Structure 1
Amino acid sequence: MTLIDGKATAATIKAQIAEEVKEMVAKGGKQPHLAAILVGHDGGSETYVKNKVIACEQCGFKSTLIRYEDDITEEALLACVDKLNHDEDVDGFIVQLPLPKHIDEQKIIMAIDYKKDVDGFHPINVGRMAIGLPCFISATPLGILTLLQHYGIQTSGKKCVVLGRSNIVGKPMAQLMMQKQYGDATVAVCHSHSADLKKECREADIIIAAIGCPNFVTADMVKNGAVIIDVGTTRVSDATRKSGFRLSGDVDFEKVAPKCSYITPVPGGVGPMTICSLMKNTLAAGKKEYYQ
C-alpha cells in the first residue's frame, strides 16, 4: 500500500509555481493577483481562506482578502463581485462558499466574470470542461487529477466509481475521469439512491469518495489493489483534541488501507491539492492562458 502524500506533492508544485512567477516578474511581467471574498465567520471557511492567503505568499502571488459580516445584502455582495470583475489588477477571484441562506449562491457564481473564475464554478467554465475545451477546472477535481498523474496511477481503461454528485466535486470529477485527455476511464456515479452501491464499489479499480459521510466506505466495499481517493473532510467531535474535533474522511482508513494499492489520508491527501490547484488556476489567469 502506497500512501498518497498530497501535502508533499502540493509543496513541490507550489515551489515550481513560485519559480515561474519569479522569472515572469524578473522579465517585467505582472505578479499574479488572487482576491477572495469571505462572508461571515464559518470555521471551515476561515481556515480555508487563511490557507489560501498563505499559499499565495508561497507562490509569489499578490493576494487580497475582502471580508463582510453575514448580514451583507445580496445586492452589496453583487456590487463587490462587479468591482472585482472590472479591476484590471485582479487576475482571478473567489467567493468562499457556503454563503448565508439569504444570498443566492448560484446568482453570485453567475455574476463572476468567467475569465476570472479561478474556482471553475461558472457555467461557462463547467460547460467548456465538459466538452474538453481549455478552461478553469474546479480546484478539487483538478487536484485529484494532479495526484493521480504525479503518482503515475493508471486510469485509462479502468473502472472508476465516483461517490457523490455535487457540482463542486462529484459531477466535474466524473466528467474528467471519462474524458480521453484526462482519465480515459469507465465511470459510474453513485449516490444515496444507487441500487447495490456496494457491488458497484467492489468492481471499481478506482473509488473517489466525495459524499461527506464519515467512514462510509468500508473494507467490504473495496476490492484488493484498488486506488482510493478520499475527498471527505467532516469535523467529528473528539475530546482528546485541543480543538475539540478531528477531521474524518469518507473512508474507514484503518480497515480499508491494507487492501489498497494507493490511498489518500485525511487530512494531508486531497485537501492540500485543492488549494494548490487554485494556485495553478491563478497562475493560468495571470498568464491569460485560457482567455484573453
Structure 2
Amino acid sequence: MLIDGKGISVKRLAALKEEIATSGCVPCLATVIVGADPASQMYVRMKHKACDDVGVTSVGVELPEDATTEEVVAAVAHLNDDPSVHGILVQLPLPKQIDTEAVIEAVSPAKDVDGFHPENVGALFSGRPRFVPCTPGGIMTLLAEYAIPTAGARAVVVGRSVDVGRPMAALLINADATVTVCHSRTKNLEDEMKAADILVSAIGKARFVTKDMVKPGAVVIDVGINYDDDGKLCGDVDFDAVADVASAITPVPGGVGPMTIATLMENTFAAAKRQIC
C-alpha cells in the first residue's frame, strides 16, 4: 500500500480552509528567515503559499546572512509582542554564528507552531502535547488516516534529532507503541530495524534502508530528503526494493513532506483559536 501524503494533505487542507472560513477567526503566521539559502527560501515560499491557500494571513521577516543572535532574538520578540501574529516559525538551519537554541527559546510557547520550544517539548514528552513538531505530527496523521494500528506495535525510529526523531518517539509512545530509537552508536542496527512493525527513518542518508533491513509486512515511513549521486531526489529508503516487502510505505517525494506543511497550517489555526477565538 502506497501511503499518499500528498492526497491526505490536500484533503486536510481543504477541510481546514472550510473550518477557518466559518470560524470567524483569521490566523496569522510569521516566518523568520536569515540569509539567502535557496532551499530555506523555497521552504518559506511553500509555507506562505499554503497560508494563502487555506485563508491564513502571513508575514515574512528576512534578516541578512551576517545577522547576530541578538538581532534574530529581537525580531522574534517583536513578533511575540504583536497581537496580530498567532504563530511564529523560524526557518532552520540558521547560520553558524547564531545560537539556534537561544532563538528557539525566544519564541513564545503560545506561538511556537513548530513545537520546538522546551516548554512544548516537555508537554509532548509528558503526554500532554500542545504543539507537536510538524513532521512527526504529520506522520501520526498518516498512520491514523490509513488505520495503521500503533497500540502494541513495535516501532523503531532511526535518528534522534530534536525536530523529528525524538518527538516521533514520544508521539508513538503516547500512542501505546513500544518504541526503540536508533542512531549512529546503535549496535546491531540492522537487527533492531528488522524487528520493527513500524519503521521510521530520519537519518538523511540516500537509500540507506535496504530490503534486508525491513521485516516483511512492516510499515515504512521515509522522512529523508536526499539526492543520490546522479542528483535525483530520493529518501532514506531504497523504495523500489523495500516496497516489495513492506505492507505500506511512503514515497519521496509525495509522502511525509506535504503532511509537514499541512500540520503547520493546523498548528497555526490552533494557536489562533487559543489566542483570539
Identity %: 50
State the partner residue of 1:230: 222
For 1:101 and 1:46, the matched residues in 2 are separated by 17
1:67 to 62, 65, 69: 62
State the partner residue of 1:139: 134
Report the Cα offset of residue 43 of structure 1: 2.2
User: Can you give the 5+ residue segments of structure 2 that lack an aligned partner in the other structure?
Assistant: none
Report the Cα offset of residue 261 of structure 1: 0.7
Report the Cα offset of residue 237 of structure 1: 4.9
For 1:118 and 1:98, the matched residues in 2 are separated by 16
After TM superposition, which residue ranges in structure 1, 4 or more long, deviate above 2 angstroms?
A: 235-238
Report the Cα offset of residue 134 of structure 1: 3.8
State the partner residue of 1:287: 273
Please list the CA deviations of residues 29-64 of structure 1 after superposition, one character each: whole Å capped at 9, or x if unmatched: x31000101111222211211110111011100011
Instruction: Tell which deviates more after alignment, 71-80 or 102-111.
Output: 71-80
2:208 aligned with 1:216: yes
2:109 to 105, 114, 120: 114
State the partner residue of 1:9: 8
User: Secondary structure at 1:50's aligned position in 2?
Assistant: helix
Instruction: Tell which deviates more after alignment, 204-213 or 71-80.
Output: 71-80
1:275 to 251, 255, 261: 261
User: Secondary structure at 1:3's aligned position in 2?
Assistant: coil
State the partner residue of 1:104: 99
State the partner residue of 2:234: 248
User: Can you give the 5+ residue segments of structure 1 that lack an aligned partner in the other structure?
Assistant: 239-244
State the partner residue of 2:21: 22
State the partner residue of 2:247: 261
User: Secondary structure at 2:228's aligned position in 1?
Assistant: strand
Alignment of 1:188-203 (within 5 A): 188-203=180-195
Please list the CA deviations of residues 162-215 of structure 1 after superposition, one character each: whole Å capped at 9, or x if unmatched: 000000000010111011xxx211111111111111111111111000000111
Alignment of 1:80-95 (within 5 A): 80-95=75-90
Corresponding pairs, count: 277
1:38 to 33, 47, 66: 33
Provide the TM-score with structure 1 as the length reference.
0.92
Report the Cα offset of residue 236 of structure 1: 3.5
For 1:85 and 1:161, the matched residues in 2 are separated by 37
Question: What is the identity, as a one-letter code, of the residue corresponding to 1:63?
Answer: S
For 2:189 and 2:269, the matched residues in 1 are separated by 39
